[in-house]
Structure 1
Amino acid sequence: MGVDPTGESKRVMNARILIPSADGSINVRLVTSSGEEIKAAWPGWDHAMFVNTRRHGKDCVSLHDQKVLRNRAAARIASSQEYRVEILTQNRVDFCNILQISKDDHIVIDASVCQVHKLPMKRQMEEIYSAEDYPESFFPRQKREFPNDGNFYSACSSRSDPTWMCPGCRHGYDRWAKRHDLKQ
């Protein structure tokens, strides 16, 4: 088996999941059976493509949308119960990403399945593109039709982070880019 290009490793634990209710945070706390506390990013966080340019001026996945997704999933989690939690950890950040939550062999949340195409996704390092190269109309469409295309649309950052890539989303992006004669 080769080296994982994302630098992530998987960890499985039994834990209670504590979800902040009022502050709108996308982070949760995992408390293991032994009392260890782990800060984790709620599934969907790395699908948020924030575009902070003068031209676009707003984020593509609004904080409201993030709260709706979090609250919908949180309705399936009882903080008093323990769940089997798989997390992805990285050496360079102080929190992890939740991969899957299950209870009694029933999957409650699976971040590795695309919510648009219902296909399994793979982890990869983001491909970074300049947000300035895209029309404003692209971003709402990208959010609806191919949110897990494996790209990051940045105003200035050149740092690539691990992200999910769905083959259906990637195909949708490639089709869109070809129709709009976007050279990538």
Structure 2
Amino acid sequence: MIASETSNIVIELNIQDVFWVNSEQRTIANPISPQTWKQWFQTWCKTLGFHLPVASNYELTLRLTGDKEIQSLNAQYRQKNQPTDVLAFATLEWDFPVVTPPEDLLEPLYLGDIIISVETARKQAQQQDHPLKRELPWLATHGFLHLLGWDHPDEPSLEEMLQQQETLLRLVGL
């Protein structure tokens, strides 16, 4: 668990790196440290604070995995038996009533899980001729926006979401 605090927002980031830790594909070096991920998510939380439900602190999980695991999850939860780049599982109902004042919350408000296939991310980075170090946070911002209630059922909402992702990447120097 990694915690950080800026502007009264505390984010706990649980990074599950099953790709580089357990993978046979050790020829690819992990381009992003846990500390960097923490800084990025802290910046994104601060920037998108008005989209966050009221709480004194937040938690989310980022899982870096491979195509096999993400394909299994995609088949199970989206009925699409194929690998994908990112999945986001939000734990909050949007438009939910706030019952407990934030200062009374003892546990962080769990936003959900972001799961990224590093294998698919690597392929997409190569296709778009940019480094994996840019593709991974691109996918993380996409998943994070989904956790905050963003969706893209049509072209205008997709464009708005993509623009927000670009904004978030610029904020962390990418």
Q: Which has the larger radius of gyration?
A: 1
Higher helix content, 1 or 2: 2
Q: TM-score range by the shorter chain?
A: under 0.3
TM-score, structure 1 normalization: 0.26
TM-score, structure 2 normalization: 0.27
Higher strand content, 1 or 2: 1
